[in-house]
Chains A and B, each alone.
Chain A
């Protein structure tokens, strides 16, 4: 029994479309579900007061602080390293065996699962360097984790700067470094910022690495050597230990909204950047 091509097409489109819709529906459902169950529990007090009774009551403020400080620390290291690498690859060299090895290293680093980062951060920073579970251990480990993302996006951004700008700068008597600082980087900034936001998004959602390196103290951190808990860790603990479903959903809602906002900002910036270029 041969199906006519036209009918086969209708069937195929139907199946494909259904799959796509299913995918979309599932992902949308997840967000809607979490928000609907969690948002009612989110209010000013929840966000800005400390947890009581291991999180059964009260708010999540210290975890908010942790969620802000950890990515900040990670990026403080990853951005100079990542942008510097990108600038080197784009401006100071052409494709050689050396650069291929560097890229290979970056690609490999990008593919390492977070549990391995957690193991590494634990054995290296917490134990061997005796830093203990703290902000610094977490920040440094997360920095290595987001480094490939920063390198990739920064390199794309710097390569996108038209060569004519560089030529003009050189012809006016600028050195290569001056050209990078005054012409290339300012023009690559939107792309670099996009990468930074994507990196922030990854850090916010990361749980395994944080538990293994920053611990899970509920106290407000007062120094880089204090242990902190992030929202994702707090959420995980609330859920696993069955402490409070209500608080768990609320934390999840804040978590999801944060990640969505950061990623939306990143995409928005990317589109603005692309639109500006094509003027």
Chain B
């Protein structure tokens, strides 16, 4: 009868709805399964804080890579965050709506450019520029930071813009009615109100910067050394995984999975913070 069919459909759909959660658990499970034993064997402290990375010789310290990832990601945020937030403010507050409706999707469209293309341009245009004007091999922390900064711009602009757009007009009007200029209403009221959304966008972008692989491989230089200047070449955690995976066996492979575990955990924490910031804001409304 029709009604029995309905029950089958409902339970079928529940099963399907599990797929995302199940995939997540599968991924987490396998990455941990491959990486955790290694970390326990070698000792988390030695793994994270040792500076020798030489798989052939059984040395698996990823400290230089951690430093590299952090430098590159922070550098990317130094470039991407101010530019992105500025862009979001400008587009939302100082530009007529029809223009914003064209420009914002255009920027988001451009975000679809594959990371390898960004990386390639970094190699062909940015790296030589750095090499000529600042010394060093060109492929460096700076190059990676700049390229990544550009790559996360759409993320920052998009999410910040949404946060700013969500500020009720009554807030703005309230400030303007008190004699504020548009700019004053923006920095005194609107930005404050949208602040958590803006911060969330920066945190999310940071997560993206930490997780980026291909572009970084192409422009960061990939030398395993703690950088002393922005023109030094470095290898990030992601680059390490991608580069070494092909030839890694046994302990070396486990080490790379362990690196994956570190990345996974850090980025999940960052995303979690960002998402909960947005959600608390929505709930408070």
Contact with B along A107-127 (1 / 0, CB 8 A): 111011111111110111000
Nearest B residue to A4 by beta-carbon distance? B181
B interface SS class: helix
CB distance from B267 to the nearest CB of A (A): 6
Could you say which residues of chain B place their CB within 8 Å of the CB of A20? 86-87, 90-91, 103
- A30 and B113 within 8 A (CB): yes
- A114 and B268 within 8 A (CB): no
- B113 and A16 within 8 A (CB): no
- A13 and B183 within 8 A (CB): yes
Give the segment of A53-61, A144-152, A161-169 that binds chain B. Answer: A144-152
- In the assembled complex, B218 has its CB within 8 A of some CB on chain A: yes
A23 to B84, CA, bound (A): 8
- CB contact under 8 A between A15 and B86, given known A5-B184, A9-B181, A9-B183: yes
- In the assembled complex, A76 has its CB within 8 A of some CB on chain B: no
- In the assembled complex, B135 has its CB within 8 A of some CB on chain A: no
Q: How many residues of B contact A (CB 8 A)?
A: 85
Nearest A residue to B13 by beta-carbon distance? A88
- A112 and B117 within 8 A (CB): no
- B116 and A114 within 8 A (CB): no
A197 to B220, CA, bound (A): 32
- Counting chain A residues whose Cβ lies within 8 A of the other chain, the interface size class is 35 or more
- A252 and B120 within 8 A (CB): yes
Could you say which residues of chain B place their CB within 8 Å of the CB of A15? 86
- A207 and B214 within 8 A (CB): yes
- B213 and A108 within 8 A (CB): no
Could you say which residues of chain A place their CB within 8 Å of the CB of B96? none
- Please tell me which one of the listed residues B17, B89, B107, B150 contacts residue A16 in the complex, with CB atoms under 8 A apart: B89
- A123 and B30 within 8 A (CB): yes
- In the assembled complex, A69 has its CB within 8 A of some CB on chain B: no
- A144 and B27 within 8 A (CB): yes
Contact with A along B106-131 (1 / 0, CB 8 A): 11011011111111110111000000
Contact with A along B200-224 (1 / 0, CB 8 A): 0000100110111110011000000
- In the assembled complex, B23 has its CB within 8 A of some CB on chain A: yes
- In the assembled complex, A244 has its CB within 8 A of some CB on chain B: no
Could you say which residues of chain B place their CB within 8 Å of the CB of A262? 112
Nearest A residue to B6 by beta-carbon distance? A175
A187 to B159, CA, bound (A): 28
- CB contact under 8 A between A113 and B208, given known A19-B86, A84-B16: yes
Instruction: List A residues at the B interface (Cβ < 8 Å).
Output: 5-6, 8-9, 12-13, 15-17, 19-20, 22-24, 26-28, 30-31, 33-34, 80-81, 84-85, 87-89, 92, 101-102, 105-109, 111-120, 122-124, 128, 144, 147-148, 151, 175-177, 201-202, 204-208, 211-212, 232, 235-236, 239-240, 245, 248, 252, 255-256, 259-260, 262-264, 267
Q: Which 7 A-B pairs have the closest CB atoms?
A: A113-B211, A105-B21, A205-B114, A84-B16, A19-B86, A9-B183, A111-B271
- What would be 12 A-B contacts, judged by CB atoms less than 8 Å apart? A6-B181, A9-B182, A23-B84, A24-B106, A30-B110, A108-B24, A112-B264, A116-B260, A177-B5, A177-B9, A240-B218, A256-B113
